[in-house]
Structure 1
Amino acid sequence: MELYTNLRAGEKGAWISIGAYIFLSAMKLIIGHIGDSEALKADGLNNTTDIIASIAVLIGLKISQRPPDENHQYGHLRAETVASLVASFIMMVVGLEVIFSSIMNIFDPVRNSPSTLTIIVALGSAAVMYMVYRYNLALSKKIKSSALKAAAYDNRSDALVSVGTAIGIFASIIGYSIIDTITALIIGVIIIRTALEIFWESVQTLTDAFDTEEIETLSTLIKNVDGVIELVDLKGRTHGNATFIEVTVTVNPYLNVWESHRITENIESTIKRFDINCTALVHIEPHEAEEGVD
Structure 2
Amino acid sequence: MARGHHSGLLAIWISLISNVVLTVLKVAAGLLLSSPVLLADGVHNAGDIIATIAALTSSMISNKPADEDHPYGHGKAEVVASAFVAVIMALAALWIGYQSIGALFRPAGGENWLALGAAFLSLVWKQGLYLYTVRVGKATNSKSVLATAYDHLADVYASLAAVVGIGLGLLGEKFHWGWAAYGDPLAGIIVSLLVLKLAVEMGRESVDILMEHNVSPEKLAHYEALLRTDDHVKRIDRVRAREHGHYIIVDVRVGIPHDYTIQQGHDISRKLKRLIMEFDPDVIEVMIHLNPWEAGEPVAN
TM-score, normalised by the number of residues in structure 1: 0.87
- Change beyond 3 A, Cα 1:75–1:282: same
Shift of 1:199: 2.1
- Is contact 1:85-1:202 (8 Å) kept? yes
Pick the aligned partner of 1:125 from 115, 122, 125.
Answer: 122
- Is contact 1:25-1:47 (8 Å) kept? yes
Aligned equivalent of 2:211: 207
Seq. identity, %: 29
Larger deviation: 228-237 or 212-221? Answer: 212-221
- Asked if 1:148 corresponds to 2:145, the answer is yes
Larger deviation: 250-259 or 227-236? Answer: 250-259
Shift of 1:241: 0.5
Shift of 1:36: 4.2
Alpha-carbon distance in structure 2 between the residues aligned to 1:101 and 1:207:
35
Aligned equivalent of 2:200: 196
User: What CA deviation, in whole Å up to 9, does each residue of 1:136-188 have, x standing for no partner?
Assistant: 23323443323323322432443344233212221121111111122233333
- Change beyond 3 A, Cα 1:194–1:78: same
Aligned equivalent of 1:92: 90
| SS across alignment from 1:66 | coil
Segments of structure 2 that go 5 or more residues without pairing to the other structure are 173-179
Aligned equivalent of 2:288: 282
- Change beyond 3 A, Cα 1:102–1:156: closer
Aligned equivalent of 2:166: 169
TM-score, normalised by the number of residues in structure 2: 0.85
* RMSD of equivalent CA atoms: 2.4
Aligned equivalent of 1:102: 100
Equivalent positions of 1:1-294 (< 5 A) are: 2=1, 6-108=4-106, 110-175=107-172, 176-212=180-216, 213-278=218-283, 279-290=285-296
User: What CA deviation, in whole Å up to 9, does each residue of 1:168-226 have, x standing for no partner?
Assistant: 22112111111112223333333433332332222111101122222222222222234
- Change beyond 3 A, Cα 1:91–1:61: same
Segments of structure 1 that go 5 or more residues without pairing to the other structure are none
Alpha-carbon distance in structure 2 between the residues aligned to 1:186 and 1:283:
52
Q: Give the AA of the match of 1:203.
A: V
Q: How many residues align?
A: 289
Q: Give the AA of the match of 2:286.
A: A
- Change beyond 3 A, Cα 1:166–1:143: same
Larger deviation: 235-244 or 85-94? Answer: 85-94
- Change beyond 3 A, Cα 1:233–1:105: same
- Is contact 1:10-1:143 (8 Å) kept? yes
User: What CA deviation, in whole Å up to 9, does each residue of 1:224-278 have, x standing for no partner?
Assistant: 2342222110111111111111001112333333332222112111111232231
- Is contact 1:85-1:199 (8 Å) kept? yes
- Change beyond 3 A, Cα 1:39–1:190: farther
| SS across alignment from 1:174 | helix
Alpha-carbon distance in structure 1 between the residues aligned to 2:160 and 2:93:
18
- Change beyond 3 A, Cα 1:226–1:114: farther
Q: Give the AA of the match of 2:234.
A: I
Alpha-carbon distance in structure 2 between the residues aligned to 1:64 and 1:291:
44
Alpha-carbon distance in structure 1 between the residues aligned to 2:88 and 2:130:
22
- Change beyond 3 A, Cα 1:215–1:71: same
Using CA pairs under 8 Å that are at least 6 residues apart, name the structure with larger relative contact order, 1 or 2.
1
- Is contact 1:14-1:148 (8 Å) kept? yes
- Change beyond 3 A, Cα 1:234–1:104: same
Larger deviation: 263-272 or 59-68? Answer: 59-68
- Change beyond 3 A, Cα 1:184–1:29: farther
Q: Give the AA of the match of 1:183.
A: A
